[in-house]
Structure 1
Amino acid sequence: MSTRICLVALIGLPAAGKSTFSSWILSIPQQQFNVIHLCYDDFLPAQEHTLNAEIELKLQRSKILETINLLICELNENAYIARDIIKSVKLSENVNCHDFIILCDDNNYYRSMRYKLYQLCRQNKCAYAQIYLECDLKLALGRNSARPDNERVSEEILQRMGRRLEIPNSAKHRWEENTLFLEECDNFTIKKASILGFFSKSLDKILQPLSQCVTTETMMSLLHQLDLLLRKRISEILQLENDLAERSKKSKMLIAKRKKLLQEVRKKTEKESISIDDLNMYVHLLN
């Protein structure tokens, strides 16, 4: 029996219920698939407001992607779970089950964060799914304030994330079409059938790596589209900045970054193929 893997990106504000949802899934006795809960908080350092902390955070997120890639390789080769890396695993009651759901428990509030997981699935021939746990900012703030001090996110950070959270939109980003929206819910059991059904259907949607070549004409078209998307994104980012001096400073920085990204993509297309979906990743590198 071949191994099937579905990487599931959980999306939502802090205190939206992502870890509660993961714990609930792990508690369900069922035979359909094995569940692996990968909580990013187990790998990420405590948040600080320093440049070094931001650099460390990006490095740690890259390491998490490497860990996920390693886990996928091990599962594909041996249907083996690296328990020394992953703390929470729920094995199916069916000992012959080779289907695995990997819950990526993180805020994933930028689309670029999710797209990296999507790319990882495409490279490794896995399925990709998203679950967006909808939660009003006021409710999230209330839940967050009730948390223990060592688990609480600062109100400033939570509000900023609320402004910047990019809700899945398959109309504009086709790769996000396999998304389950869960409205504010304290009892996931009432939606058990639809949730388990979503996971089962997702396991059938294995992604395949891209193989098409890019002609010079296609490359120029993609670069033009990317330039338009970058300009639009810069405009959206600047609209969130009310301080005129800070907006001017940020504008110069973003324009310089836009030019650098266009140069990088131009060089990349000379060596390998890219798709329209890949453009989204570069757009959100502006964040």
Structure 2
Amino acid sequence: MSTRICLLPLIGLPASGKTTFSNWLLDISQKPINIIHICFDDYLTPPTNEKSSKFEFKQQRNSILSRIRELIYELKYAGNIPTHLSAVVKSSLCTDLHDFVVLCDDNNYYRSMRYKFYQLAKENACAYAQIYFDCELKLTLERNSLRPAMDRVSEETMQRMAKRLETPDPTTHHWELNTYTMSDCENYNVIRTRILAFLTKTFENMLQPMPVQTKLETIQSLVHQLDLLLRRRIGEIIQTEQLTTKRQIIAKALNIKRKELLQNVKIKAELKEISFNDLNEYVNMLYS
């Protein structure tokens, strides 16, 4: 029997129950599936300074995604977790089972974060699902205050994340259709059958990679869309300058930068490291 894998990001504020749920799922006996738990807190480290925080955070997440990609490959073609990864993931495995659910335990409060897992699942012909822990901010703050000091998240960060959290919306984002919502007072043992049924059902819809031609069209579309956004922003910048000669100098410099950014995005698109959600970030790079 061939190996089947489902990538399943967990969504929710800190202290909403994601890791508790993961540990509970790992401890269940006689499961119909194998469980692998990857806790992002074990990988992510605080940034060295505020200025580099966004860059460092993105680099760390990309590094974890690379490890997950490697894990998928090893599970598919070797049927086991590679030794150098087995020390940093938790797992509950049975050699008689060939279905693996990989729990990606992080806050995943931006939809773009989740979409990267969906892309990874699609390019590797995996299934995709997600569990949203719908927990009130007040309760997460209470739980967070009971954590050891070194594990607590600042209240300011919790408040900010609560405002920015993008809840799953399958009506406008079809790829989020396979979502299970967990309320903050759910008793896992009571809903055990329902949870296991949801996880098992995910394997009925294995995603398929895009055809080569479709992939090429996507890359061209990404680059074209970014080019339009950059040209519009350049026009806005130039209009703020009164002197014609200075406009020409600014326009020349910005167009050089535009071409560099387009080339950079083309390379990243070929490596599947960028999506339409990332384009505004590149528009902002015109100023750097």
The two structures have a TM-score, normalised by structure 1, of: 0.77
Q: Taking structure 1 as reference, are residues 280 and 84 closer, same or farther at Cα in structure 2, changes over 3 Å only?
A: same
Aligned position for 2:76: 76
Letter in 1 for 2:210: L
Asked if the contact 2:47–2:56 (Cα under 8 Å) also holds between the matched residues in 1, the reply is: no
Specify which of 270, 276, 279 is matched with residue 279 of structure 1.
Answer: 276
Asked if the contact 2:34–2:99 (Cα under 8 Å) also holds between the matched residues in 1, the reply is: yes
Q: Secondary structure at the match of 1:190?
A: coil
Alpha-carbon distance, 1:98 to partner: 1.0
Alpha-carbon distance, 1:198 to partner: 0.7
Aligned position for 1:237: none
Letter in 2 for 1:195: I
Asked if the contact 2:11–2:131 (Cα under 8 Å) also holds between the matched residues in 1, the reply is: yes
Asked if the contact 1:31–1:97 (Cα under 8 Å) also holds between the matched residues in 2, the reply is: no
Alignment of 1:1-287 (within 5 A): 1-46=1-46, 50-85=50-85, 86-92=88-94, 95-185=95-185, 187-211=187-211, 212-213=213-214, 219=221, 223=225, 264=262, 268=266, 278-280=275-277, 282=279
Q: Which runs of 5+ in 1 are unaligned?
A: 232-255
Q: Measure, in 1, the Cα distance between the counterparts of 2:19 and 2:283.
A: 29
Deviation per CA, 1:169-195, whole angstroms, max 9, x where unpaired?
A: 011111111111111125211111111
Q: Which moved more, 1:135-144 or 1:54-63?
A: 54-63
Asked if the contact 1:34–1:90 (Cα under 8 Å) also holds between the matched residues in 2, the reply is: yes
Q: Measure, in 2, the Cα distance between the counterparts of 1:42 and 1:89.
A: 15
Q: Secondary structure at the match of 2:207?
A: coil
Q: Measure, in 2, the Cα distance between the counterparts of 1:64 and 1:34.
A: 20
Q: Taking structure 1 as reference, are residues 79 and 267 closer, same or farther at Cα in structure 2, changes over 3 Å only?
A: closer
Alpha-carbon distance, 1:83 to partner: 4.5
Letter in 1 for 2:89: K
Q: Secondary structure at the match of 1:162?
A: helix
Asked if the contact 1:110–1:284 (Cα under 8 Å) also holds between the matched residues in 2, the reply is: no
Asked if the contact 2:10–2:130 (Cα under 8 Å) also holds between the matched residues in 1, the reply is: yes
Q: Measure, in 2, the Cα distance between the counterparts of 1:280 and 1:143.
A: 33
Q: Measure, in 2, the Cα distance between the counterparts of 1:219 and 1:33.
A: 39
Deviation per CA, 1:128-172, whole angstroms, max 9, x where unpaired?
A: 111000011111111111111010001111100000000010111
Q: Which moved more, 1:47-56 or 1:95-104?
A: 47-56
Q: Secondary structure at the match of 1:170?
A: coil
Alpha-carbon distance, 1:282 to partner: 4.1
Q: Taking structure 1 as reference, are residues 266 and 135 closer, same or farther at Cα in structure 2, changes over 3 Å only?
A: same
Q: Taking structure 1 as reference, are residues 189 and 48 closer, same or farther at Cα in structure 2, changes over 3 Å only?
A: farther
Q: Measure, in 1, the Cα distance between the counterparts of 2:46 and 2:167.
A: 25
Q: Measure, in 1, the Cα distance between the counterparts of 2:283 and 2:161.
A: 16
Alpha-carbon distance, 1:284 to partner: 8.1
The two structures have a TM-score, normalised by structure 2, of: 0.76
Q: Which protein shows a greater Rg?
A: 2
Alpha-carbon distance, 1:57 to partner: 1.8
Alpha-carbon distance, 1:89 to partner: 0.7
Aligned position for 2:243: none
Q: Measure, in 1, the Cα distance between the counterparts of 2:17 and 2:283.
A: 28
Q: Measure, in 1, the Cα distance between the counterparts of 2:265 and 2:60.
A: 27
Q: Measure, in 2, the Cα distance between the counterparts of 1:66 and 1:18.
A: 22
Q: Measure, in 1, the Cα distance between the counterparts of 2:146 and 2:207.
A: 41
Aligned length: 252
Q: Measure, in 1, the Cα distance between the counterparts of 2:103 and 2:111.
A: 17
Q: Measure, in 2, the Cα distance between the counterparts of 1:60 and 1:198.
A: 30
Q: Taking structure 1 as reference, are residues 169 and 10 closer, same or farther at Cα in structure 2, changes over 3 Å only?
A: same
Q: Secondary structure at the match of 1:10?
A: strand
Q: Which runs of 5+ in 2 are unaligned?
A: 234-253
Letter in 1 for 2:176: E
